[in-house]
Chains A and B, each alone.
Chain A
């Protein structure tokens, strides 16, 4: 046996069971969606399977079979963290392995430090159980695929007993013409292996013949070895605690230059700076500094860092600086041929940061009209380079006169008179524009959003001696000046 395969069975389900510390005798299953009603089961534990609750069953039917069944929804974050732990575990066994799927790891037995295979298998399974709290199956084979099949088989000694409909098999191997094979009564890999290769190939094509070869160990592929994730980080311990920016910037400049070179070598760019400062009083300060646009230019990173430091007050002298760059793919743009609207997005980002500090985050953005009849209603869209003006075209009645909006509207005392259903303004008693109303246009009642809080107001265009104004009456008795024409 040349190859070994580690199979972390039903990882998505078992990582949740491990996290929640669910006992193995509790029937449990994993749903395909968050929403239970629409879901079917994608995995179930041994206890559930003993009650005929198998993957593929609808959640309703599964509950019909065992009402106390524990139904779990997929949790991406738990799954991801478990995957990292699993990778770390596999790395302890061998440096050269193939991460075939998140659940399967293949490697050559010769790369592991082992004398007795059975001992190694027992030790590994034991470690997996104690370290990861996850069930593990190990399969051995003379080819990587046979090892793989052996690992997903209930009986690793007899991998060909594996049923074609086993979810783990269909997840990892492409089995063409499964429906036809089912009609033929081919239920296991052994049944398939027993068929004549040529006859099979004539009928169902070359893909099934390749599977036939795999089963017979006639197909030997190369492993695609896993490369661990590179971290772009560095730290500097100051021999004497520092109290001003200059030495910090000096060190940071050097670190950024080194890290940027590394990033460039790997065709990556930084999208975020993760900064950690350790102070003399043993407290720490950690902050993520997002970049407006991914870059691998050290001076831009330094400028961002500098801008941040300008408003930062350290609680104590700084002992240590730790910087890490979050890598991402670089973006390519041809500045000369197709001019971008922002030549230096990161500089623009710096400017915005400074503005935010002055006016506050809620007062900075791109004003965007809201599709409503509510006058002067808009929202602020956060500023980023990806913002595009929506295709929405709002109908606003055309006016010959420009309107200067009064923001916020000015409360007024207005003398009025009720005619029909509406209050007609007669004179403005307070505010910057006072006097008798000479002419009115309106009323223009407006209302909407009755399904939420609802709003209503009545607009008037009025003419005073030398001014044209827009007044708004909000029931029951509030008059406001909302604009000045001209």
Chain B
């Protein structure tokens, strides 16, 4: 019967999670618990889900403190109408830039509570006026005055005043302890949160903290004892709980929008939706396939039957409409994830894979056993084009009909330590050191966490390890605040910190989403976000569609457009999946700039893998994942493929499942089917396993499933050796699960990007350069790679360049103005506009027609963009002239008094300037320049291929990528670029530790080591010694680092 509890979703106003509060309430014998989080229903969804499990009723409410001329008010919901009214009002409060008054709130179905906290800012007279206003607005029966007993001085006087007010206005009294944490011990975190909210340390917070630890959730008996002198307040608490418990979030009234006829605007009935989907699917199939097989027809009818039975036709139509909109706008898109298992999705153009041909299972996507909504994720080109689709949905369901799902940002180890240390007054250095030390321990933690069930891990050991890190961070165990720090850190971990925006999950509703859940503006302009995250939405049956941004799609879309403009269009849907040129490119790992297969690890595997067909590409995409590496699964696959190892199916029964991947479980679907086969897992159990694999904290959900799995396997008398191998495979996938359909969808993009690189290299590089930053490599590396493919780049020129980089012909690109760092988009537009009216003739003509600021003119001059003017001899000449034009008299055009005396830039100076203003150069590689000036002999990336295994090597170059994946046991991988290409370095853990600072801070490295020619004839330098390569001048280079 406690009605006024605040959870940690009140963000720094509550210290216990909704789930903990509900658990505590259940253990204390409460039948109901009201969660009244600050300014929203943030924690109500979780409280509801947990309460359902424990047979409790979670009452929904909120505390609002932004109503004009009104003290902070707690409002509880009594019915769905009340909930909807309150949800709409909260949306209004969050979204309205003007003040919101009570008049904007329809009180039907709600109950307001005036709490003692209201007295803080009001005089007696003001309080009376407010109470009368509230009574008039809500009605005397829908307003209560709460009494708190936190054993504070002065509390009784306040309670007496409230009692008199209640008697005077005939408003009932309500007994409550207004808990902000579940147990007395949680006060520590509540105090720390208060100090963080008040932006001070605990020492400075003083009286802003609670004076005692009485604000915990008290049992009904304790509440009775507290308010023996106010029995009517206790009675009313029960009565109000009873009234409010008639509504729960189960009755949210959410309905996925029906498909709307684009011509008439009429909403389709269910039957009409079924018919229309049937029509569209069959039409789409005819368009997609030249010849429709019996198998296809049977499959599509089967799918349509399931969709109709589950009443999901409208959902498919709406997603189809979305994809159709994107296509009409020329926006490339492709469904990914399990949707690729559906032939209907393929027929509707949502996905590009023919699941029948690829042998994908529809049941993985949708089945009668599964009650949850199907999950369709669609990739769009990142940036403006994806935003256009999102805005289309906002417009279509406006106002307040669509929003992004929230992303609950919780306290992670670093943030928890930093914030708690701050509250305790520790200096920032300690937090930084903690964070560094935790990073170095990360690898060990992740692997050990996964392999050992938490039940076996002693909590004490965990605390011991944590204490050790804290001590190393600079807080000795003898420090008086050491234990408080440990306690607070543990308490704060995983507690909600703030609400973010999900990367792409969007929810929509055709009758006002703000009735279903409060919405609030996101930090990003023109975006709304709802107060629940995707799991909350899923638990409450709210359907989301993931609209994800993919940089490569944007690059490919640009490539295709350029191809069209140049008169040799490309239809990606029609390109051959058996193109020899593309497979050659893949086999020789010439994949810089492509999708998914461009990383160093992928490039090292490709020559071993020697992909020969499309499915090989899908395996290649899936194989270089942390998951399979953890499970030691990559090498067995490659060994088996090259015939060095015999094929083993773990268990004979797994042969049909694992045959395609040579006995190695590479895909999530295989793991699920293995579980179904060997442990008799039902469809829903397999679904739980799938969910656990994709859950952020897999241990939480995975451990009970693994126990069941082991139990069932034991029952079926499966040997413990096989059991261990099955569990090990599942454990690895729980960390980095990768579904087959997903791999195939990605492989499609990967293959298409390789095809474009093989057949349309100029357009491909252009598309990539125009969509940076994306992928693995910088523009400079792409330009160097383009050069190796005989594609030259012309420099930026104010006479010839457009804003974006353009293709001149098959072997030449013209860099766009966008390459110049520091040149505003507005300036670029003005330049193009002025030039479109009349080409610039001379520099004077240019500077007089285009007023630009000093900085921008200097950038143009220094980067050589003014060199095409007849009177400009070289970059320095331009720089000399530019400075004069800036200091010209306002009314007279004086001639410069002296001619340029500045010398031309040397090649090295040009290189430095290019890196500084463009981050890339079209000139010679810095290593080439160095070699021209020095006679010392160093190996090159090219010469490595000609040396024998074990040869002693000294090589230098520009670091373009540093990788130290958590699964690599501390070893480091570096890609070193020179004028010939990229050399791969392997730095063993010991050597890395010895030269850590040099490796992580220097731009150029000189390394000494042994050459290793690995399988696939890939040369790798096994590094023994590292030193900075001083002799190269300072450049503003950037590398892609993961360490």
Question: Complex Cα distance A184/B156, Å?
Answer: 79
Across the interface, B880 reaches (CB within 8 A) one of A203, A205, A395, namely: A203
In the assembled complex, A407 has its CB within 8 A of some CB on chain B: no
B213-246 near A? 1/0 per residue, CB < 8 Å: 1100000000001000000000000000000000
User: Which residues of B392-422 are within 8 A (CB) of A?
Assistant: none
Q: Check if A451 sits within 8 Å of B484, measured CB to CB.
A: yes
In the assembled complex, B1002 has its CB within 8 A of some CB on chain A: yes
Across the interface, A195 reaches (CB within 8 A) one of B202, B206, B901, B1001, namely: B901
On chain A, the residues within 8 Å of B998 by CB distance are: 64-65
Question: Complex Cα distance A63/B1002, Å?
Answer: 11
A131-169 near B? 1/0 per residue, CB < 8 Å: 000000000000000000000000000000000000000
Whether A448 contacts B209 in the complex (CB less than 8 A), given A195-B901, A203-B884, comes out as yes
User: Which residues of B1000-1042 are within 8 A (CB) of A?
Assistant: 1000-1002, 1028, 1030
On chain A, the residues within 8 Å of B913 by CB distance are: 183
Q: Check if B997 sits within 8 Å of A61, measured CB to CB.
A: yes
Q: How far is the CB of A272 from chain B (nearest CB, A)?
A: 34
Q: Check if A372 sits within 8 Å of B883, measured CB to CB.
A: no
Question: Complex Cα distance A481/B654, Å?
Answer: 80
In the assembled complex, B30 has its CB within 8 A of some CB on chain A: no
Which of the segments A287-295, A325-333, A351-359, A439-447 contacts the partner chain? Answer: A439-447
Whether A64 contacts B898 in the complex (CB less than 8 A), given A203-B883, A371-B206, A450-B484, comes out as no
On chain B, the residues within 8 Å of A394 by CB distance are: 206-207
Question: Complex Cα distance A58/B1002, Å?
Answer: 11
Question: Complex Cα distance A58/B896, Å?
Answer: 42
B894-907 near A? 1/0 per residue, CB < 8 Å: 00111001110100
Q: Check if B897 sits within 8 Å of A199, measured CB to CB.
A: yes
User: Which residues of A179-209 are within 8 A (CB) of B?
Assistant: 180, 183-186, 194-196, 198-199, 202-205
Q: Check if B211 sits within 8 Å of A185, measured CB to CB.
A: no
B877-913 near A? 1/0 per residue, CB < 8 Å: 0011001101100000000111001110100010001
Question: Complex Cα distance A397/B150, Å?
Answer: 14
Closest A residue by C-beta to B904 = A185
Q: Check if A37 sits within 8 Å of B1028, measured CB to CB.
A: no
Whether A61 contacts B1002 in the complex (CB less than 8 A), given A199-B897, A371-B204, comes out as yes
Q: Check if B207 sits within 8 Å of A185, measured CB to CB.
A: no
Closest A residue by C-beta to B200 = A371
> Count the A residues whose beta carbon is within 8 Å of the partner chain — how many?
46
Q: Check if A373 sits within 8 Å of B1002, measured CB to CB.
A: no
Q: How far is the CB of A80 from chain B (nearest CB, A)?
A: 27
On chain A, the residues within 8 Å of B862 by CB distance are: 183
In the assembled complex, B656 has its CB within 8 A of some CB on chain A: no
Whether A184 contacts B902 in the complex (CB less than 8 A), given A443-B151, A445-B212, A446-B211, comes out as yes
Q: Check if A198 sits within 8 Å of B898, measured CB to CB.
A: yes
Q: Check if A446 sits within 8 Å of B212, measured CB to CB.
A: yes
Q: Check if A60 sits within 8 Å of B997, measured CB to CB.
A: yes
User: Which of A370, A447, A459 has the most B CB atoms < 10 Å from its CB?
Assistant: A447
Q: Check if B1002 sits within 8 Å of A64, measured CB to CB.
A: yes
On chain B, the residues within 8 Å of A452 by CB distance are: 480-481
Closest A residue by C-beta to B901 = A195
Question: Complex Cα distance A216/B296, Å?
Answer: 90
In the assembled complex, A417 has its CB within 8 A of some CB on chain B: no
Q: How far is the CB of B1005 from chain A (nearest CB, A)?
A: 11
Q: Check if B883 sits within 8 Å of A204, measured CB to CB.
A: yes
Q: Check if A185 sits within 8 Å of B909, measured CB to CB.
A: yes
Question: Complex Cα distance A283/B511, Å?
Answer: 97
Closest B residue by C-beta to A398 = B154
Q: How far is the CB of B885 from chain A (nearest CB, A)?
A: 9
Closest A residue by C-beta to B861 = A183
On chain B, the residues within 8 Å of A25 by CB distance are: none
Categorize the interface residue count of chain B. 35 or more
Q: Check if B880 sits within 8 Å of A184, measured CB to CB.
A: yes
Q: Check if B879 sits within 8 Å of A183, measured CB to CB.
A: yes
On chain A, the residues within 8 Å of B484 by CB distance are: 450-451
Question: Complex Cα distance A180/B1030, Å?
Answer: 25
Q: Check if B424 sits within 8 Å of A451, measured CB to CB.
A: yes
Question: Complex Cα distance A397/B214, Å?
Answer: 18
Q: How far is the CB of A294 from chain B (nearest CB, A)?
A: 34
Whether A60 contacts B1001 in the complex (CB less than 8 A), given A185-B902, A373-B209, comes out as yes
Question: Complex Cα distance A479/B811, Å?
Answer: 93
On chain B, the residues within 8 Å of A385 by CB distance are: none
Question: Complex Cα distance A397/B151, Å?
Answer: 13
Q: Check if B901 sits within 8 Å of A420, measured CB to CB.
A: no
Question: Complex Cα distance A453/B862, Å?
Answer: 64
Kindly count the residue-residue contacts between A and B in the assembled complex, taking CB atoms under 8 Å apart: 114
Q: Check if A180 sits within 8 Å of B858, measured CB to CB.
A: yes
In the assembled complex, A35 has its CB within 8 A of some CB on chain B: yes
On chain B, the residues within 8 Å of A196 by CB distance are: 897-898, 901
Question: Complex Cα distance A67/B998, Å?
Answer: 10
In the assembled complex, A467 has its CB within 8 A of some CB on chain B: no
In the assembled complex, A52 has its CB within 8 A of some CB on chain B: yes
Question: Complex Cα distance A60/B1028, Å?
Answer: 13
Q: Check if B202 sits within 8 Å of A451, measured CB to CB.
A: yes
Question: Complex Cα distance A443/B153, Å?
Answer: 9
In the assembled complex, B46 has its CB within 8 A of some CB on chain A: no
On chain A, the residues within 8 Å of B880 by CB distance are: 184, 199, 203
Across the interface, B1030 reaches (CB within 8 A) one of A52, A205, A420, A453, namely: A52
User: Which residues of B163-222 are within 8 A (CB) of A?
Assistant: 187-188, 191, 202, 204-207, 209, 211-214
On chain A, the residues within 8 Å of B205 by CB distance are: 371
On chain B, the residues within 8 Å of A67 by CB distance are: 997
On chain B, the residues within 8 Å of A398 by CB distance are: 154
Q: How far is the CB of A259 from chain B (nearest CB, A)?
A: 46
On chain B, the residues within 8 Å of A205 by CB distance are: 887
On chain B, the residues within 8 Å of A37 by CB distance are: 429, 432
In the assembled complex, B792 has its CB within 8 A of some CB on chain A: no
On chain A, the residues within 8 Å of B432 by CB distance are: 37
Whether A445 contacts B154 in the complex (CB less than 8 A), given A184-B876, A185-B905, comes out as no
Q: How far is the CB of B323 from chain A (nearest CB, A)?
A: 50
Across the interface, B1028 reaches (CB within 8 A) one of A64, A185, A372, namely: A64
Closest B residue by C-beta to A395 = B207
Q: Check if A198 sits within 8 Å of B897, measured CB to CB.
A: yes
Q: Check if A203 sits within 8 Å of B887, measured CB to CB.
A: yes
Q: How far is the CB of A63 from chain B (nearest CB, A)?
A: 6
Q: Check if A397 sits within 8 Å of B153, measured CB to CB.
A: yes
Q: How far is the CB of B904 from chain A (nearest CB, A)?
A: 9
Q: Check if B883 sits within 8 Å of A420, measured CB to CB.
A: no
User: Which of B213, B898, B903 has the most A CB atoms < 10 Å from its CB?
Assistant: B898
Across the interface, A445 reaches (CB within 8 A) one of B151, B898, B1028, namely: B151
Closest A residue by C-beta to B905 = A185
A80-117 near B? 1/0 per residue, CB < 8 Å: 00000000000000000000000000000000000000
Q: How far is the CB of B459 from chain A (nearest CB, A)?
A: 21
On chain B, the residues within 8 Å of A448 by CB distance are: 209, 211
Q: How far is the CB of B1037 from chain A (nearest CB, A)?
A: 14
Question: Complex Cα distance A275/B905, Å?
Answer: 69
Question: Complex Cα distance A451/B178, Å?
Answer: 24
User: Can you give 20 A-B contacts (C-beta < 8 A)?
Assistant: A61-B997, A64-B997, A64-B998, A180-B883, A185-B902, A185-B903, A198-B897, A199-B896, A199-B898, A199-B901, A202-B884, A202-B887, A371-B207, A395-B207, A420-B225, A441-B156, A444-B153, A447-B213, A451-B188, A451-B202
3 closest A-B pairs by beta carbon, nearest first, are: A371-B206, A64-B997, A199-B898
Binding site for A on B (CB under 8 A): 151-154, 156, 187-188, 191, 202, 204-207, 209, 211-214, 225, 424, 429, 432, 480-481, 484, 858, 862, 876, 879-880, 883-884, 886-887, 896-898, 901-903, 905, 909, 913, 995, 997-998, 1000-1002, 1028, 1030
Task: Given contact pairs A64-B1000, A202-B884, enumerate 8 new A-B contacts (beta carbons under 8 Å).
Answer: A185-B905, A185-B909, A203-B883, A205-B887, A371-B207, A397-B153, A444-B153, A451-B424
Binding site for B on A (CB under 8 A): 35, 37, 52, 58, 60-61, 63-65, 67, 180, 183-186, 194-196, 198-199, 202-205, 370-373, 394-395, 397-398, 420, 441-448, 450-453, 459
